[in-house]
Amino acid sequence: MHATTLSMNATEAFAAIPLAAVCCDQTFGKEEARVIREQLLERSSYRAMEPYAFGMLISGLLKRFREESWQGLIAAAAPQLNREQQETAFALACQLIHCDRQVAAAEREFLIALADQLALAPERARQILDVCELLNRDF
């Protein structure tokens, strides 16, 4: 069975989006792994997980990423999230992409595709992007 036929629950889907964000440029370093872990563990669904289960969740999502690319990962994740979860996942993806103050072309393409996949209103997606850019502005 191909991985795209496998469904996700909301917990997996929410984690899949920021993971896809940091992997969309084909890199996933220790710093990015640390930031995703911290961000997810601030949320009750992940905080309640045993460390082994959390590790297995991330490992499983990384496996799916390797098999399906970020496009397949977000296509499977988006329908599993309600509107609020989608907005929060988009904001987290934006934050992770902008936190190093360098947004590559592949990362811009990812955010555009993600906003489209989540069917976010263009003005709402722009608001979220603007806030992330402001929070991560260097001066």
**Annotation: CATH topology of 3-135:** TerB-like (1.10.3680)
Tracing tokens 């991985």 back to the chain, one arrives at 3
Q: What is the CA radius of gyration of the chain?
A: 14
Q: Decide if 77 contacts 114 (C-beta within 8 A).
A: no
The pLDDT score that the predictor gives to residue 74 is: 95
**The residue type at 97:** I
Query: Does pTM surpass 0.85?
Result: yes
| Alpha helices (H) in 4-121, listed in sequence order | 10-23, 30-41, 44-47, 51-77, 83-98, 105-117
Question: For 93-119, what is each residue's pLDDT tens digit?
Answer: 998 888 777 888 889 999 999 999 999
Question: For 34-57, what is each residue's pLDDT tens digit?
Answer: 888 899 999 999 999 999 999 999
Burial class, 9, CB count within 10 angstroms (exposed 0-12 / middle 13-18 / buried 19+): exposed
Residue 3 scores a pLDDT above 50 = no
